[in-house]
Amino acid sequence: MKSKIILEDIKIYAYHGVLPEEALIGNNYIINAEFHADLEKASESDDLNDTINYAEINDIIHQQMAIRSELLEHVIGRIIQRIEKAFPQITFIKIKLTKTKPPMRGEMNGVSLEFEKEIK
């Protein structure tokens, strides 16, 4: 059975960016995350030990967002690495990280990076 866990539109205020003012002012970020794993056992057992605790995934995301990085790529890489280590039953991870007000000209809803990783 193919199963997905999807965390949608997690809003976090953080201080990532290359510009010095981004370290002082910060920005709003939105994270979307998708994970694939076989959760059939949990569908039968109703036992948290048979699934992936998405509250723990949420905690990992918040912890990593609190560590300042210049590049969003670095933040996503850390998030993927920590989740992969904590939940070896995950077979696929997709993280989309959006900076809602990037310091660039023009009106926009944000700039996003999205990483996908198949885990073997």
List, for residues 49-105, the tens digit of each pLDDT value. Answer: 999 999 999 999 999 999 999 999 999 999 999 999 999 999 999 999 999 999 999
Provide the angle, in degrees to the nearest 10, between the axes of the packed helices 72-86 and 54-65. 150
Task: Report d(CA 61, CA 58) in Å as an integer.
Answer: 5
Task: Report d(CA 15, CA 7) in Å as an integer.
Answer: 22
Q: Any catalytic annotation for residue 99?
A: yes
What dihedral angle (degrees, nearest 10) is formed by the CA atoms of 107, 9, 72, 83? -170
Whole-structure pTM value? 0.94
Place of tokens 């660039």: 104
Q: Which pLDDT does position 2 carry in this prediction?
A: 83
Residue 56's closest CA among 8, 7, 3? 7
Mean pLDDT of the chain: 96
Catalytic residue among 2, 4, 99, 117: 99
Q: Which pLDDT does position 80 carry in this prediction?
A: 98
